[in-house]
Homo-oligomer: A and B are copies of this chain.
Amino acid sequence: VAQASRPYHHGNLRSALLAQAERVVREHGADELSLRELARQVGVSHSAPRRHFADRQALRGALAEAGFERLGTELQAAAGGAEDSVAARLLATARAYVRFATRDAALLELMFASKHETESAALDAAAERAFWVILELIQRGQASGMLAAGEPERVGLLLFSTVHGIAALYTSGMLPPEQLDQLVVDAVEHFVRGQRAADGRPPAPGC
């Protein structure tokens, strides 16, 4: 779809609004989001966005959905990296999660704040896809015997909660940046150790 002569007034207003909204959130926070100013910055009338986003909440929902999609992609890339052990992959994935939080703190807050307002199925799917990355790693770890057997969702939720908690604490300003990576390392180490010890068999062959 070429847009050489600027078809009508903006070509693809929806994605232009989303891109600008993402910029505003990153630079000024989610509270600063204003439909009218967004329209102004993009060069359309204040009522033009209405065709693409029913209301303010719909825009935030779309923003959250895009955020979860990007988060999922980044987690997937980290999980499928060059590391050999599942433990190393888990650490890389956890670090990718926290990296997202440091780079897009306000967006992460928005992603987990939009709640079930709109009950958007697309948002739920995008969020679950991000969670699946961790789930798959755990299943692989269990299959290789490196992690104790157990319901993957239950133990996956445990790790996810911890990593998300670290990220949430950081975006709230309650965690000094110097302690951030150390905490992530501790959390993954602690997780792997705990999941090993959960097994009925002795933790080491020579015990």
Contacts and interface: CB of A to CB of B under 8 A. Distances in A.
Interface string A19-57: 000000000000000000000000000000000000000
**Chain A contact residues: over half helix, strand or loop, or mixed?**
helix
A164 B173 CA distance: 14
Contacts of A115: 171-173
A122 interface: no
A44 to B, nearest CB: 25
Task: Find the residue from A154, A166, A171, A207 having the highest chain B CB count within 10 A.
Answer: A166
A161 to B, nearest CB: 4
Interface string A89-129: 00000000000000000000100110110000000000100
22 contacts: A109-B113, A112-B168, A112-B174, A115-B172, A155-B186, A157-B175, A158-B190, A161-B169, A161-B183, A162-B162, A162-B165, A163-B165, A164-B165, A168-B168, A190-B194, A190-B198, A193-B194, A193-B198, A194-B197, A197-B197, A197-B203, A207-B207
